[in-house]
């Protein structure tokens, strides 16, 4: 079985859009690293996740992928705080009881937490995918806009991984 790592924010749930809308309403300059870090660190993640839509039936797609027994699946998610990690774990467990969840401190590359060689990463952020492929892994871009190709194969629904990986 091949290792399949799936990002959380912007792939499974739409926290990126929701938090960017919040930042805009608060008047936070998204180029101000210090204010952005403070915002994400102090965010009530439990509340945020209760307001955030699931993207393209992602939890059912994960179950469909799991049923094929082709992959060892784990959710690999960057976190800004311990509270965020706990909220994400509790949220995911409501939908999917048995998946491995790996919170990664924001300051650490996903490739430093996991052996990327020959493993697949589905992520919406091309920077993570570039690092992943540099470490010998296979990067798959997730985007609800299939034309958003930045040099990677692109899927807009998680179970489409079954169509591109044998």
Position 152 pLDDT exceeds 70:
yes
Q: What letter does residue 144 receive in the DSSP assignment?
A: S
- Contact present, 7 and 76 (Cβ < 8 Å): yes
- Contact present, 129 and 27 (Cβ < 8 Å): no
pLDDT at position 105: 94
The alpha-helical segments, DSSP class H, found in 43-136 are 45-51, 58-67, 82-95, 110-113, 126-134
Share of the chain above pLDDT 90, in %: 77
Domain of residue 94: give its range: 2-13+53-164
Give yes or no: residues 33 and 90 share one domain: no
The pair of structure tokens assigned to 67 is 């049923």
> What's the rounded Cα separation, in Å, for the pair 160 and 94?
23
Give yes or no: residues 110 and 130 share one domain: yes
Give yes or no: residues 46 and 101 share one domain: no
User: Of 166, 163, 160, 150, whose CA–CA distance to 58 is shortest?
Assistant: 160
Count up the domains in the chain and report the number. Answer: 2
pLDDT at position 31: 87
What is the mean predicted confidence (pLDDT) over 145-150? 72
What is the mean predicted confidence (pLDDT) over 97-123? 95
Give yes or no: residues 80 and 111 share one domain: yes
Phi, psi of 158 (to 5 degrees): -60, -40
Give yes or no: residues 21 and 102 share one domain: no
Give yes or no: residues 85 and 151 share one domain: yes
């Amino acid at each position: 079985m091949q290792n399949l790592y799936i990002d959380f924010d912007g792939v499974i749930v739409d926290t990126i859009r929701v938090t960017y809308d919040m930042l805009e309403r608060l008047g936070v300059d998204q180029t101000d690293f210090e204010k952005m870090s403070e915002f994400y660190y102090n965010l009530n993640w439990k509340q945020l996740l209760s307001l955030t839509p699931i993207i393209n039936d992602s939890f059912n797609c994960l179950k469909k992928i799991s049923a094929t027994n082709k992959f060892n699946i784990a959710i690999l998610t960057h976190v800004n705080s311990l509270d965020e990690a706990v909220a994400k774990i509790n949220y995911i467990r409501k939908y999917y009881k048995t998946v491995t969840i790996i919170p990664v401190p924001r300051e650490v590359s996903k490739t430093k937490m996991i052996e990327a060689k020959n493993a697949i990463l589905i992520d919406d952020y091309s920077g993570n995918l570039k690092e992943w492929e540099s470490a010998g892994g296979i990067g798959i871009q997730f985007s609800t806009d299939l034309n958003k190709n930045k040099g990677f194969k692109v899927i807009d629904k998680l179970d489409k991984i079954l169509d591109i990986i044998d």
